[in-house]
């Protein structure tokens, strides 16, 4: 493989929301560098949470701290809201992710959802997106596209999302 240059991709917050709002039953909005996710609960009512995305080595992490979850119309279930919320959200996300991954030929290990202690020490849900698996998938696609793009960095700021990609050619030219 031969080095073929670099690409910097930057997507504005407005354009991120244009794409997010096209997801059916999405309820996801990007603002000030964070995602706001709305999730109807099986017990009735709706909860919203904040999700913070950051790169951690070869993974993109989306952290959902439970202490930032807020709900309406939950009544006596407010105390168990966090667990209920994460259960409902992770189920919805897992179904959507599995369907999307399979359709595109990505392995299920590319996206995993767990409940854990986050890096700030609080309890929360964690969505882990494997850049390693994404890059493997991109490399396979290059067999017909002549250029392999590999994701090197992903970052979210208050204004936008930035990704750095490195390209390689398969054949000398």
Partner 1 sequence: MSTCATCGKELEEGSRFCGECGAAAPARAEEPALPAPAEERSTPTAPPPPYHGTRIELDKEMVNSLLALYSGLPEGCEPKLRDGRLQMSLGEHQLEVNPLRLSEAARLHWRTESMGPLEVSIDLVELHKAGLEVRMRLL
- Residue ranges binding partner 1 (CB under 8 A): 3-15, 18-19, 22, 100, 146-147, 159-160, 167, 169, 173
Q: How far is the CB of 108 from partner 1 (least distance, A)?
A: 18
The contacts of residue 147 (CB under 8 Å, 6+ apart) are 4, 167, 168, 169, 170
- Of 1 and 80, which has the nearer Cβ to partner 1? 1
- Of 28 and 78, which has the nearer Cβ to partner 1? 28
- Of 79 and 144, which has the nearer Cβ to partner 1? 144
Distance of CA 65 to the CA centre of its chain: 15
- Of 6 and 116, which has the nearer Cβ to partner 1? 6
Q: How far is the CB of 120 from partner 1 (least distance, A)?
A: 26
Instruction: Report yes or no: 30 and 23 within 8 Å, Cβ to Cβ.
Output: no
Q: How far is the CB of 15 from partner 1 (least distance, A)?
A: 4
């Amino acid at each position: 493989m031969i080095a073929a240059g670099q690409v910097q991709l930057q997507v504005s917050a407005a354009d991120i929301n244009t794409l997010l709002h096209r997801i059916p039953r999405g309820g996801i909005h990007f603002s000030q560098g964070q995602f706001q996710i709305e999730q109807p609960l099986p017990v009735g009512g709706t909860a919203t949470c904040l999700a913070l995305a950051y790169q951690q080595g070869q993974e993109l992490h989306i952290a959902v701290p439970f202490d930032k979850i807020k709900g309406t119309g939950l009544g006596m279930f407010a105390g168990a809201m966090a667990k209920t919320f994460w259960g409902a959200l992770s189920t919805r996300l897992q179904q959507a992710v599995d369907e999307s991954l399979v359709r595109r030929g990505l392995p299920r290990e590319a996206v995993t959802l767990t409940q854990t202690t986050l890096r700030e020490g609080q309890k929360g849900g964690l969505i882990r997106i494997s850049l390693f698996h994404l890059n493997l998938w991109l490399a396979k696609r290059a067999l017909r596209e002549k250029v392999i793009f590999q994701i090197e960095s992903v970052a979210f700021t208050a204004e936008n999302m930035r990704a750095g990609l490195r390209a390689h050619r398969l054949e000398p030219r």
